[in-house]
Amino acid sequence: PLYSSAASDVYKRQPSLMKIDVEQMELHVLQGGRQLISSCRPIIYAENNKQESSAPLISIISELDYVPYWHVTPCYNDANYKDTHVDISEGWMDVNIICIPSERLDMLHPQPMKMVGFIRIDVDRPYLHQYYSEDQVSTAGIPISSYQN
């Protein structure tokens, strides 16, 4: 059986960070966790690798008064824990967003717009291809046609 509960029922303490990677259910987690997120204001790190869920995800993050940034990383790292030097991911990239509560942007000292490895997302441009070239997106293993509006 599948059980569901509100995020505020799961957390006994106030979280300072939420990592959300629930296979295309990230929007549902954010919707169900609105009360907890609004009261605790944690940093949120969430998967955002599907075009069809990107705009709604960015929209709810904006409604919650967070500033989202793209975080695109390779699925394979040569310096991995098992010291495996075969890239079975074929160069694919993992697409996530890190979301900072607007009142905590000063923690990104000294320049919030220039976090290394992150690109600030404009709520009116919620798709990956609006920030990376077609070659960069297709090289990341994400077919450009599946990540456009």
Q: What sections of 26-115 are H helices per DSSP? A: 26-32, 34-40, 51-63
- What is the pLDDT confidence band of residue 45, given thresholds at 50, 70 and 90? very high
On the question of pLDDT at 55 being above 70, the answer is: yes
At residue 38, φ and ψ (nearest 5 deg) are -65, -35
The answer to whether the beta carbons of residues 46 and 20 sit under 8 Å apart is yes
pLDDT (mean) for 108-128: 68
- Mean pLDDT (the chain) is 78
- When pLDDT is averaged across residues 131-135 and rounded to a whole number, the result is 66
